[in-house]
Amino acid sequence: MKKEKILEIVISVVKSLVETLPENQKFEVDQNTILFGKGSNIDSLSLVSIIVDLETTFSVDYDFDISLTDDRAMLREKSPFESILVMVEYIFELVNEK
């Protein structure tokens, strides 16, 4: 799977999440959007929703069984949740190992 496709999926999932937020909490989504930590507009429950939606989408629609919260993800020096772009890099790595 190409990185462009993964980026499209991740942005679409995050945008879907943003649509469910109250008007005053909505924000613009692009590849630099921070998902977790300082500068993020996403609370922990919303992040859980994004992770579940990504894992489900890759598994059900593309037959890629990926886990975004296993030890490998958590122990990385650079958290996969840092930004959409970093997340895309991490997923790209995972799906191309399969």
Can you give the binding site for other proteins, defined by CB under 8 A? 45, 49, 52, 56, 59-60, 65
Pick 45 or 75: Cβ nearer other proteins: 45
CB of 20 to other proteins, least distance (A): 10
C-alpha distances in Å from residue 96, one per residue of 10, 12, 23, 59, 92: 16, 21, 38, 14, 6
- d(C-alpha 6, C-alpha 2), whole Å: 7
Pick 12 or 32: Cβ nearer other proteins: 12
CB of 74 to other proteins, least distance (A): 19
